[in-house]
Chains A and B, each alone.
Chain A
């Protein structure tokens, strides 16, 4: 039985379609990254899966229960960490987790032990008696995680678990997610690629409410293999140069990498016809080229290409 099953899910807010008929299945014990730019429909999808909002159309099952008709069972078997980690900041960590465990139906005789073990797993035992509002953001994030898993759910759903954290805290939370998963199905949303590469085997990429890629990381990497990057150092105005490059046929993606001093632009194209594309690009840029460098495409290029509106229309 799959841990999460989504079929033809649609969510409309008035005239705006936030989620546009997505379908995917996640098996028991999988750790899956849900990737997409801000506003792609990630949070909306997760809110439907966690029974916070109903979908306009479609079916979703979590831990074998329907999110519309068996919402209580879904919520009993699922742990959710919403974006921005809302917490009752006036409470102490242990009291808060005990309260949450009670709400989630943890039996009285198990409660103390389960709260302690959740705190241990998330490394917050040392602040158990501190007031949440006095903790650092990294600690709060871990308290949020402890809350999500205190009732030992079958499925964990984490919405942007590392947003707003510094690099060290990001690493902590990332390691934690790997650690705590052990058998639990985890679906987390993010817009950072390294996260996905280090934590999960599979990623689902969503853009403008539609799934644009779904596969294991090796599969997704293979999609990038036939592509190459070409970087140009230009002497002209980079914004104008970017527009010129975008118009060149065969250019899958054009990016402006200019940071500080010299204007740099990068294009993505099929390795097969690369020479043709490069000479067309040179022609489009006119004379203002200072240098050119070719390299294989990286994994993040896939994400950028899939989630840029223009690139998608081109691919379609």
Chain B
């Protein structure tokens, strides 16, 4: 436990030592602020719907599509390119501890990124009064969704970073996986008429795999077990793959 804590602490601190994470943090605030302003203040000042957290958080799944890979790109790839992976893995720590600390450290930084968004919620609660305050459940649901979505994206980023020593390539890879999941939806009508077990499987995949549907549920305040499971299992899967990829040095 001490080791995992030490690893995680270094991981988190590394984000504050480097310039790129600050840039990402600023970009994140700028983008969410923009969507908040255009969604809630400019266009939606008179409608009830504009007060829902979805106004800010709906776009999060797309913003994070770009930002998370930039955040995680260095996590393992950088250890490889600097060869600190050798000092790291010859210390008495397990590969799983290393990957878990990469994920946790990034997740903690992501929490830091989310903090400024509380301002938007505050503004809605304070000044949305004329047309009714936004309910608390959707807000809580939205944050639960944000945590799960972020954790899932980060696990994909860490995995992508674990299979290469080139940080930019790893960012690109994470981006491709994330966008690949997202655009599965466009095949919806294409696979609609395919018969048999194969067709069912395809339809199931197109229906279930994209993150959007699961995430949007949270924004309406509905926290359903199967949506939670989607993110938790997805995160676990990619972390598992990342551990395997780190272990691969042993059977190459």
Contact = CB atoms under 8 A, between A and B. Distances in A.
Given A78-B90, A102-B3, 9 more contacts: A51-B90, A80-B86, A80-B90, A82-B83, A82-B90, A88-B14, A88-B84, A103-B6, A103-B91
A15 B249 CA distance: 17
A285 B9 CA distance: 69
B93 interface: yes
Interface residues of A, number: 29
Contact of A147 (B3, B17, B87): B87
8 contacts: A51-B90, A52-B86, A54-B250, A72-B92, A78-B90, A80-B87, A91-B10, A99-B6
Contacts, number: 68
A84 B89 contact: no
Nearest to B16: A90
B211 to A, nearest CB: 33
A53 interface: yes
B18 interface: yes
A43 to B, nearest CB: 10
Interface of A: 13, 47, 50-54, 72-73, 75-76, 78, 80, 82, 84, 86-91, 99-100, 102-105, 108, 147
B252 interface: yes
Interface string B83-125: 1111111111110000000000000000000000000000000
B2 interface: yes
B82 interface: yes
Contact of A102 (B2, B82, B249, B250): B2
A103 B84 contact: no
B7 interface: yes
A276 B109 CA distance: 77
Contact of B89 (A52, A78, A99, A108): A52
B83 A13 contact: no
Nearest to B87: A86
Contacts of A78: 90
Interface in B197-252: 249-252
Contact of B3 (A51, A84, A103): A103
A181 B90 CA distance: 20
B10 to A, nearest CB: 6
B252 A86 contact: no
Nearest to B89: A52
A54 B86 CA distance: 13
Contacts of B90: 50-52, 75, 78, 80, 82
B91 A82 contact: no
Interface string B1-42: 011001101100010011000000000000000000000000
Nearest to B85: A86
A86 B83 contact: yes
A82 B250 contact: no
Contacts of B84: 86-88
A229 to B, nearest CB: 40
A102 B6 contact: yes
Interface string B146-185: 0000000000000000000000000000000000000000
A13 B91 contact: no
Contacts of B92: 72-73, 75-76, 103-105
